[in-house]
Amino acid sequence: MPDAAALARLTARLDKPVVMVGLMGVGKSTVGKRLSQCLNTPFVDADDEVVKAAQMSIPEIFDRFGEDYFRDGERRVIARLIEENAGRPAVIATGGGAFADDETRALILDRAIAVWLYADLDTLVARVGRKNTRPLLTGRNPREVLGELMERRGPAYAQAPIRVISDAGPQSNGVARIIAALEDYLA
């Protein structure tokens, strides 16, 4: 991990938000928070902002209105978050399906720096088993669902200019990888 002065120089070169993308359970929120702390920038979780805007949980949104409605609201929230952080560094964590949506992906690629955080299937299955709040997994086999999502969403995620593995090691490893990738990207 770079020292404080190097991190400050990196942050000074960031002129748009860093947006974490990838499958559920990969660590976008957790690693994103730690990244924002290292860079001394604001952090915001798009899912939390969707919940605030809708005044209901994500599972409730899915149950009452369906995934398409959720994705539309998610896109509007992400656009607002990017706009609020335009021209300055910030870290935004998105939901797993956000970057798979063509319009949302185009918005992020145009106005932010997308970081694809990815992990192997075993790691994802172990992580998502810790929460029962994921609508796409309700009543289904997590390994099958995640395998399908990996295959279907992989080409979209691959469009992110920065790709970083999130392995079973400490979160600080993932943060260090993202910082090194951002330094290369901005060089």
Query: Does residue 129 have a known ligand-binding role?
Result: no
Query: Does residue 72 have a known ligand-binding role?
Result: no
Query: Does residue 172 have a known ligand-binding role?
Result: no
Query: Does residue 75 have a known ligand-binding role?
Result: no
Distances, alpha carbon 109 to alpha carbons 61, 126, 128, 184, in Å: 26, 30, 27, 17
3-class secondary-structure state, position 141: coil
Query: Does residue 30 have a known ligand-binding role?
Result: yes
Query: Does residue 76 have a known ligand-binding role?
Result: no
Query: Does residue 153 have a known ligand-binding role?
Result: yes
Query: Does residue 154 have a known ligand-binding role?
Result: no
Answer whether 89's CB lies under 8 Å from 41's CB: yes
Residue 23, both tokens: 């499958």
66: left (phi over 0), alpha (psi -120 to 50) or beta: left
Query: Does residue 73 have a known ligand-binding role?
Result: no
Distances, alpha carbon 186 to alpha carbons 10, 12, 18, 37, 183, in Å: 8, 11, 12, 19, 5
55: left (phi over 0), alpha (psi -120 to 50) or beta: left
Annotated binding site for Mg(2+): 29
Annotated binding site: 25-30, 47, 71, 96, 134, 153
Annotated binding site for substrate: 47, 71, 96, 153
Annotated binding site for ATP: 25-30, 134
